[in-house]
Amino acid sequence: MAFIWTKQRIDWYLDASRYRDFHQRLADTIRPYLLPQDRLCDMGCGLGGLDLALTPMVNHITCVDTDEAVLANLRQNAAEAGIANLTTICGDARDIREVFDVVLMVFFGPPPQMMLDCLKLASRSLIRVANAKPEGAALQPNGHSKKRETVPDIAALLDRTGLTYQLLRSTFEFGQPLRSEADAAAFIRCNSPAIADGELQAFLAENLVSTGRCDFPFYLPGRKELGIFIIDA
C-alpha cells in the first residue's frame, strides 16, 4: 500500500526531523557529489527536510511529490527560513520531462524501473538513498513502508544493467520524539495497525526511552543504516 501522509504523520515526521540532525548529516554526506551551480531535482521529496539542508550547496532544487499537503508545508518552511532557490511541483515523477544536473531519490518505493526512468532526467548523476537491509516486522520510526527496495535490491539492478556507481555506507540516528505515552502508543498503532495490545505494551516497555525533556518526554530510538548510491548518468 502506498505511503499516505496525514496531518498526524506530518507532525510526527517534523518533530523527528527537528529533534535530531539526520537531514543535515545526510546532506553533508552527499555534498561532495554536488556542485554550487547544480540544478537538483528531488523525486518524491515528502516534507523536504533534506532539500532544506541542501539548498546552500546548489543553485536550485526542484521538489516533486504527489501530495500537495507536504509540499505546502515545505514551501512554508522554506519561506520562513528565507530560502529562495527551492520550488515545488505537485505531480508524479514519471511526468517530469526536464533534465537536471542531479536527480535525488530518498527512500523511494518500487517499481525498480522508476529509478532507470529518473536516471534519464539526470545529466551527471542520480543519488539514491535506501535502507541497507529490510525493515523489521514490528515498527519502523517515521512510518516508512516495509516494501521499499533495499541496498542489495538496488545494487543487483544496477549490476544487471551495467550502470557504474559508487556506494557509500552511513548510519545515522533518526528516531521519534513523543509528547506522551499515549502519543507513543498512537504512533506505533499508526505504523503497525494490526499490532496486538500486549505486543504494543511489550514494545513500549522495551524500547521507549524517557528523555527528561518537557517538550518531548519520550523517545523511540531508530538507527538508520543507509546505502547512498552515486549513479553515473
Residue-wise pLDDT tens digits, 3-13: 689 999 999 99
pLDDT in tens, 45-89: 999 999 999 999 999 999 999 999 999 999 999 999 999 999 999
- Report whether pLDDT(191) > 70: yes
The backbone torsions φ and ψ at residue 159, rounded to the nearest 5 degrees and listed phi first, read -65, -40
pLDDT at 145: 42
Work out the end-to-end distance of the chain between its first and last CA atoms, rounded to an integer number of angstroms. Answer: 31
pLDDT at 19 over 60: yes
What pLDDT does 139 receive? 52
Sign of the Cα torsion 112, 70, 169, 58 reads: positive
Which residue is it, cell 523511540? 220
Domain boundaries, the chain: 7-232
Q: Can you tell me the mean pLDDT for 19-24?
A: 96
Dump the DSSP string for 80-133.
Answer: HTT--SEEEEES-GGG----EEEEEEES--S-THHHHHHHTTEEEEEEEEEESS
Q: Does domain 7-232 have CATH number 1.10.357.10?
A: no
Largest CA-CA distance found in the chain, in angstroms, rounded: 54
Residue that is written with C-alpha cell 543487483 in the block: 156
Q: Is the pLDDT of residue 146 over 90?
A: no
C-alpha 162/C-alpha 38 separation (Å) is 26
pLDDT confidence of residue 135:
60
Q: With residue 167 as reference, give the H or E element that holds it.
A: strand 165-173
Q: Which pTM was predicted?
A: 0.91
- 1 — pLDDT class (breaks 50, 70, 90): very low
When comparing pLDDT for 219 and 146, which is higher?
A: 219
Looking at residue 150, what is its pLDDT? 87
Residue that is written with C-alpha cell 544487471 in the block: 160
Q: What is the pLDDT of residue 147?
A: 63
Query: What value does the mean pLDDT take over residues 18-43?
Result: 97
Question: Across residues 100-119, what is the average pLDDT?
Answer: 92
C-alpha cell at 155: 545494487
